[in-house]
Amino acid sequence: MKKILAFILTMGLGALVIISLSNNEFFPEFGMADLTERVSIEYITKGSALDVIFNQTNNPESGPANIVTSIVIDYRSFDTLGEVTVLFISSLGIALLLGGAAIPKRLDLNFKPNFMLRVGSRALFSIIIMTGVYVISHGHLTPGGGFPGGTMIASAFLLLYLADDQFRAKIKGFKIMESIAGSLYVIIGLIGLILADQFLENFLPNGTVGVLISSGILPVVYILIGLKVGSEISGIIDHFLTEEEVL
């Protein structure tokens, strides 16, 4: 009875929302979005009257060839700082909630991995780390960047955890790396305040669009984000796979 009531309620609300949106003349149809009416056109043309050409334009307003990267860590860099903080406090919270065990040891799962798995995973580990580093460092030229790259690094550690039931990574090292990477991001912002005029302003020259060494401090920021995300998610994985404390 309760399920039927909930079904009618949610489907009714959904139908109401859909009808309201389709009657709204300001809400564009699927695919009919006009970018010249939105702020996005300024992000694409990088604020200049001339066209931006790959491998030719020198010192544009924002360096990366990947326009989404230029929005995430240049134009709206403050939002990314907030997002990094959300991951930080989630990881801190999990350490608070699950970290009470006096002597941490691995959770006892009911499978025993065999020899091939253990050896093969170590070989695969280095390849995954290399892919992650590539994705992080080319974030301003190709799709990817700090967040997917950091998750790839964390998944390499997850592989080691799953393949070997006695493996524990060095949690202390992860905590130090996470703390230093985060502080460096805020400190880069404050240096931007001192050297240039505003917080998180890009104070190194932007170079040519499309070259690996370009866009000022942005590749550095992405590398810091990648390291931070990787170490945080690895820390979370470790906390989940430890023996629970007796409450």
Partner 1 sequence: MIQYAAILLIFIGLYGLLTNRNIIKIIISLNIIEIGLNIFIISIGFVFDGIAPIMTSVNNSSALIYVDPVPQALVLTAIVIGVGTTALGLALAKNIHSKYKTLEIDEVEES
Partner 2 sequence: MMNPIFLIAFPLLAAFLSILSKKLAPVLLLLIALLNTVMAIFIPMGIVGIGGFSFPYGINLYVDTYAQIGLLLVNGLFTVIAILNIKKYKAYSSVLLVALTGLNGLLLTGDLFNLFVFLEISGIAAYLITSSNKKPLSTFHYLVMGSVGSSLYLFGLIILYSMFGTLNFMDMIHQIQVASIDYTDLILPFFMMFVGLGVEAKLLPFNSWVKGVLKHSNTLSGPMVAGVYAAAISLVLGRLIHNLFLFEGKLYLVVVVLLVFGIVLGEAMAFASDDVKEILLYSSISQACITALLFVHGVIIWAVYLIIANGISKTLMFLVTNRAEEQTGNAKMDSLQGLFSNNKVIGIAFTIAALSVIGMPLFAGFVIKLNYLTVLAHLDQLVVIAIILLSSIVEGIYFIRLLIKLWYPKDTDIEPIKFHLSYKIILGLMAAVLLVFGTYSAPLNQLDNSIDQVSEEIEVIFHG
Using CB under 8 A, list all residues that contact partner 1.
2-3, 6-7, 9-11, 13-14, 17-18, 21-22, 28, 30-33, 35, 38-40, 43-46, 51-55, 65-68, 71-72, 76, 79-80, 82-83, 86-87, 89-91, 93-94, 97-98, 142-143, 147, 209-210, 236, 239-240, 244-247
**Per CB under 8 A, 11 contacts partner 2:** no
**Per CB under 8 A, 179 contacts partner 2:** yes
Q: Are 178 and 91 in contact (CB under 8 A)?
A: yes
Q: How far is the CB of 241 from partner 2 (least distance, A)?
A: 20
CA–CA distances in Å: residue 47 to residues 51, 53, 75: 10, 14, 12
How far, in whole angstroms, is CA 237 from its chain's centroid? 17
Binds 54: which of partner 1, partner 2, none (CB < 5-8 Å by kind): partner 1
Binds 53: which of partner 2, partner 1, none (CB < 5-8 Å by kind): partner 1
- In the numeric block, the tokens 């949610």 are attached to 10
Query: Contacts with partner 2 in 202-221 (CB under 8 A)?
Result: 202
Q: How far is the CB of 111 from partner 2 (least distance, A)?
A: 28
Q: How far is the CB of 166 from partner 2 (least distance, A)?
A: 27
Phi and psi angles of residue 106, each rounded to the nearest 5 degrees, phi first: -65, 145
Pick one of 117, 187, 195, 212: the residue that binds partner 2 (CB under 8 A). 187
| Element of type H or E holding 86 | helix 77-98
Q: Are 151 and 230 in contact (CB under 8 A)?
A: yes
**Per CB under 8 A, 20 contacts partner 2:** yes
- Cα-Cα-Cα-Cα torsion 228, 230, 232, 238, nearest 10 degrees, comes to -160
In whole angstroms, what is the distance from residue 51 CA to residue 209 CA? Answer: 12
**Per CB under 8 A, 25 contacts partner 2:** yes
